[in-house]
């Protein structure tokens, strides 16, 4: 096209009225794309709804199958628990030693343990322990929610049962899960309406060899309750690994017997070989099969297996009719088609009517201008292919620039507020540390003055009284008074000695230390003292702590104070536990830490008292000085660590001392800024 032709075309377009510029493109560019897009949208929507329905059925099947698997895991955990009972281990040991009387004596407490264990476990039918000859030693029957101990005279020999024969070849700790059966005893079915699955595990004796079997009988109908309830109109079946129906879940009562365990019906009786193979496919994924009348989803329920027993499995099959799934799709398709037709009609009408709203873009620009003045920087959409659209583009460019400037300013304000908050917190911590350091310095000066002004007179008083006591002319009543005075002088001297610790606490001498060795030495030192209080002391060093740098003597003093405090807080016949472990970096930690915990079994610390126990001279003991925890906190602070206190819900208190992996850097910084700046953070929330 030549420049002259282009200019001519532009002049013709410019001469066209704005009404024509809107109507023609609207009719051509709206109706045609609407029809095309609508057709593909409806097709895609039908496909998506169909796939979503299939996925929903699959998800429901998988979730219910995994509920059964979780129940099997819980049964395995129950077996592991029962196999570790001390009463069972004692009976096995007595049987191994050939002491019948002791075996008989251990049976009663074991039966009581089994009886207590059975409470609330309605899924179980029997709990049994059998010896290596298949003879029942202990059996608990659970019928209709009630548990009872089977008398010794009624115990049976099960050595010919297939599950016993299989269990006897298991290694200790291995578990055998039997197929589901009708629990036939003496040629008859004990509970026709309730099948049984047996869990058998081998129990080890003292020599590590098999010493008997633990057997848990599980009602099959309990497994069916784990699968329900189902969606409306849905049905489910439980099958074994060979395709035999084991149970039915659904609203059709007649199917309960037709697909029950006693009917011995197989899935091949109802489906084609191809469908049967697809449903019984051994895989860990959900299988979906479509028939003319239903959607069918299946999922394997895998069971634990041992080297002597191949993997067994159940299969859960869930069926939903096609009608309730496809009817909404067909209805939505009809509605969407009608809506598409309406859209085409409306698009044509709008092409004519839109000329009446020629001024709308200009009004929108005016409204957007007012919105910007009010702080709303949203874009304005105008498509007119003329000067109004160009004006709108310039307007949007201006709004975008303002939005970016506003965003940068807001982000800068947020960063500034965070920085100010961080610096304020640092300043508050620094001020707190300086205040404590100043307080400790004042206490040290006061301590020196008190020692000078009181210590010497006390020594002179005690010496004078001791000289007077040597006089034979003094009466016995006067001697008793002198002994009381001497005892009070000794008490004051002991208080002055404790009071002087803060002034005589030397600066730490740092070196590489092993906190485990220090703790072991302290435990050996204070154990006799705690033993006199009838309090036991134990050390649990997990051996995972990180290397520390610290003062050996101060760390020893720290642990002595904490352990003695715990011993004084613990009642007789209780225990104090010292635990050393490593806390690796996590979501709330940026560095690994070494932790030392001292736990007692006392009455705990009141919340109001917990806020004051770190202050010097505060104590809850009748004869305490209130300096122990203040000294502990200063030692921890000088080592760049944290100390926290927490109560237990069942009684007792734990004091936790934490040293970071970057402790050396913290200590050097603390030395350069002055001691006492670190802040102990008692855990008030847990007290």
Task: Indicate whether 434 pLDDT > 80.
Answer: no
Greatest mean pLDDT range, 164-178, 186-200, 573-587, 669-683? 164-178
DSSP characters over 411-431: HHHHHHHHHHHHHHHHHHHHH
- CB within 8 A of 127, min separation 6: which ones? 82, 114, 117, 118, 139, 140, 142, 215, 216, 217
Mean predicted lDDT score pLDDT of the chain: 77
Where does a domain end: 343, 358, 373?
Answer: 358
When pLDDT is averaged across residues 349-357 and rounded to a whole number, the result is 63
Q: What is the pLDDT of residue 277?
A: 86
Q: What is the pLDDT of residue 682?
A: 34
Percent of the chain with pLDDT over 70: 73
Q: Is 587 domain-assigned? A: yes
Task: Indicate whether 26 pLDDT > 70.
Answer: no
Q: How many domains in the chain?
A: 4
Is there a single domain that holds both residue 306 and residue 396? no
Task: Indicate whether 10 pLDDT > 50.
Answer: yes
Is there a single domain that holds both residue 191 and residue 272? yes
Where does a domain end: 499, 525, 544?
Answer: 499
When pLDDT is averaged across residues 675-680 and rounded to a whole number, the result is 34
Neighbouring CB atoms inside 10 A of 397's CB total 11
Is there a single domain that holds both residue 522 and residue 471? no
Is there a single domain that holds both residue 481 and residue 396? no
Residue among 614, 618, 607 at smallest CA distance from 642: 614
Identify the band that residue 580 occupies on the pLDDT scale cut at 50, 70 and 90: very high
Give tens-digit pLDDT for 455-501.
667 777 777 777 777 777 778 778 777 777 887 777 677 666 655 55
Q: Is 679 domain-assigned? A: yes
For 590, the domain range is 505-686
Residue among 525, 604, 602, 599 at smallest CA distance from 557: 525
Is there a single domain that holds both residue 401 and residue 482? no
Q: What is the pLDDT of residue 435?
A: 59
Greatest mean pLDDT range, 25-29, 37-41, 501-505? 37-41
Identify the band that residue 349 occupies on the pLDDT scale cut at 50, 70 and 90: confident
Neighbouring CB atoms inside 10 A of 14's CB total 9
Q: Is 436 domain-assigned? A: no
Q: Which residue has the tokens 């570790």?
A: 84
Is there a single domain that holds both residue 598 and residue 618? yes
Is there a single domain that holds both residue 527 and residue 572? yes
Q: Is 2 domain-assigned? A: no
Task: Indicate whether 83 pLDDT > 70.
Answer: yes
Is there a single domain that holds both residue 25 and residue 165? yes
DSSP state of 218: E
Q: Residues in the chain, how many?
A: 687
Q: Is 114 domain-assigned? A: yes
Give tens-digit pLDDT for 507-561.
778 888 888 888 998 999 889 888 888 999 999 988 776 778 888 888 988 899 8
Identify the band that residue 674 occupies on the pLDDT scale cut at 50, 70 and 90: very low
**Which parts of 451-546 fold into alpha helices (H)?**
456-469, 476-499, 501-504, 515-532
When pLDDT is averaged across residues 190-202 and rounded to a whole number, the result is 79
- CB within 8 A of 465, min separation 6: which ones? 482, 485, 486, 489
Is there a single domain that holds both residue 349 and residue 419? no
Residue among 85, 84, 105, 89 at smallest CA distance from 207: 89
Is there a single domain that holds both residue 247 and residue 163? yes
Rounded distance between C-alpha atoms, residue 223 and residue 248, angstroms: 11
Is there a single domain that holds both residue 604 and residue 485? no
Q: Which residue has the tokens 């009466």?
A: 475
Rounded distance between C-alpha atoms, residue 437 and residue 531, angstroms: 37
Q: Is 121 domain-assigned? A: yes
Rounded distance between C-alpha atoms, residue 191 and residue 125, angstroms: 10
Q: Is 6 domain-assigned? A: no
Identify the band that residue 188 occupies on the pLDDT scale cut at 50, 70 and 90: low
Q: What is the pLDDT of residue 266?
A: 92
When pLDDT is averaged across residues 441-446 and rounded to a whole number, the result is 60
DSSP state of 235: E
- CATH number of the structural domain spanning residue 626: 3.30.565.10
Which tops the pLDDT comparison, 457 or 148?
Answer: 148
Give tens-digit pLDDT for 243-259.
899 888 888 877 888 88
Where does a domain end: 458, 474, 499?
Answer: 499
Q: Is 1 domain-assigned? A: no
When pLDDT is averaged across residues 667-679 and rounded to a whole number, the result is 39
Q: What is the pLDDT of residue 348?
A: 67
Is there a single domain that holds both residue 512 and residue 573? yes
């Amino acid at each position: 096209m030549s420049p002259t032709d282009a200019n001519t075309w532009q002049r013709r377009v410019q001469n066209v009225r704005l009404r024509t510029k809107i109507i023609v493109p609207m009719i051509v560019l709206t109706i045609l794309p609407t029809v095309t897009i609508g057709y593909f949208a409806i097709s895609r929507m039908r496909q998506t709804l169909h796939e979503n329905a299939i996925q929903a059925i699959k998800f429901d099947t998988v979730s219910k199958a995994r509920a059964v698997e979780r129940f099997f895991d819980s049964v395995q955990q129950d077996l592991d628990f029962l196999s570790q009972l001390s009463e069972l281990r004692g009976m096995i040991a007595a049987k191994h030693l050939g002491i019948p009387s002791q075996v008989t004596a251990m049976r009663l407490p074991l039966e009581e343990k089994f009886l207590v264990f059975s409470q609330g476990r309605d899924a179980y039918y029997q709990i049994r322990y059998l010896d290596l000859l298949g003879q029942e030693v202990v059996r608990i029957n659970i019928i209709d929610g009630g548990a009872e101990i089977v008398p010794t005279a009624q115990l049976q020999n099960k050595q010919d049962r297939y599950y016993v024969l299989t269990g006897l070849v298991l290694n200790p700790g291995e578990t055998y899960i039997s197929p589901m059966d009708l629990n036939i005893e003496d040629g008859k079915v004990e509970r026709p309406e309730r099948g049984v699955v047996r869990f058998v595990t081998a129990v080890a004796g003292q020599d590590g060899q098999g010493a008997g079997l633990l057997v848990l009988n599980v009602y099959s109908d309990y497994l069916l309750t784990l699968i329900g309830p189902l969606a409306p109109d849905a049905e489910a079946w439980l099958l074994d690994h060979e395709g035999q129906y084991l149970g039915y879940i659904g609203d059709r009562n007649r199917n309960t017997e037709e697909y029950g365990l006693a009917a011995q019906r197989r899935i091949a009786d109802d489906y084609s070989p191809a469908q049967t193979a697809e449903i019984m496919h051994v895989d860990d994924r959900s299988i979906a099969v479509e028939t003319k009348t239903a959607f069918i989803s299946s999922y394997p329920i895998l069971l634990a297996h041992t080297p002597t027993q191949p993997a067994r499995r159940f299969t859960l099959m869930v069926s939903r009719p096609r009608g309730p799934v496809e009817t909404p799709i067909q209805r939505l398709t009809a509605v969407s088609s009608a809506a598409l037709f309406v859209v085409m009609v409306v698009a044509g009408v709008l092409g004519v009517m839109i000329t009446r709203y020629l001024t709308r873009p200009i009004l929108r620009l005016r409204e957007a201008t007012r919105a910007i003045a009010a702080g709303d920087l949203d874009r304005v959409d105008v498509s007119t292919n003329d000067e109004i659209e160009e004006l709108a583009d310039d307007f949007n460019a201006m709004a975008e620039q303002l939005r970016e400037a506003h965003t940068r300013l807001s982000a800068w304000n947020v960063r500034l507020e965070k920085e100010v908050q961080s610096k304020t917190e640092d300043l508050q911590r620094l001020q707190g540390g300086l205040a404590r350091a100043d307080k400790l310095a004042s206490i040290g000066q006061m301590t020196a003055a008190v020692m000078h002004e009181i210590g010497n007179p006390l020594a002179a008083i005690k010496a004078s009284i001791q000289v007077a006591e040597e006089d034979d002319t003094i009466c016995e009543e006067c001697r008793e008074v002198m002994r009381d005075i001497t005892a009070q002088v000794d008490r004051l001297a002991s208080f002055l000695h404790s009071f002087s610790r803060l002034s005589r606490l030397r600066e730490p001498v740092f070196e590489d230390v092993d906190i485990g060795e220090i703790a072991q030495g302290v435990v050996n030192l204070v154990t006799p003292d705690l033993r006199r209080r009838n309090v036991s002391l134990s050390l649990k060093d997990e051996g995972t702590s990180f290397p520390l740098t610290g003062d050996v003597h101060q760390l020893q003093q720290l642990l002595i104070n904490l352990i003695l405090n715990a011993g004084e807080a613990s009642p007789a016949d209780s225990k104090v536990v010292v635990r050393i472990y490593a806390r690796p970096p996590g979501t709330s930690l940026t560095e690994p830490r070494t932790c030392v915990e001292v736990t007692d079994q006392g009455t705990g610390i009141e919340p109001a008292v917990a806020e004051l126990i770190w202050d010097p001279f505060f104590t809850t003991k009748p004869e305490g000085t209130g300096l122990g925890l203040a000294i502990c906190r200063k030692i921890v602070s000088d080592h760049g660590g944290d100390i926290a206190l927490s109560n237990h819900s069942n009684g007792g208190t734990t004091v936790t001392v934490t040293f970071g992996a970057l402790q050396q850097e913290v200590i050097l910084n603390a030395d350069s800024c002055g001691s006492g700046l670190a802040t102990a953070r008692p855990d008030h929330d847990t007290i």
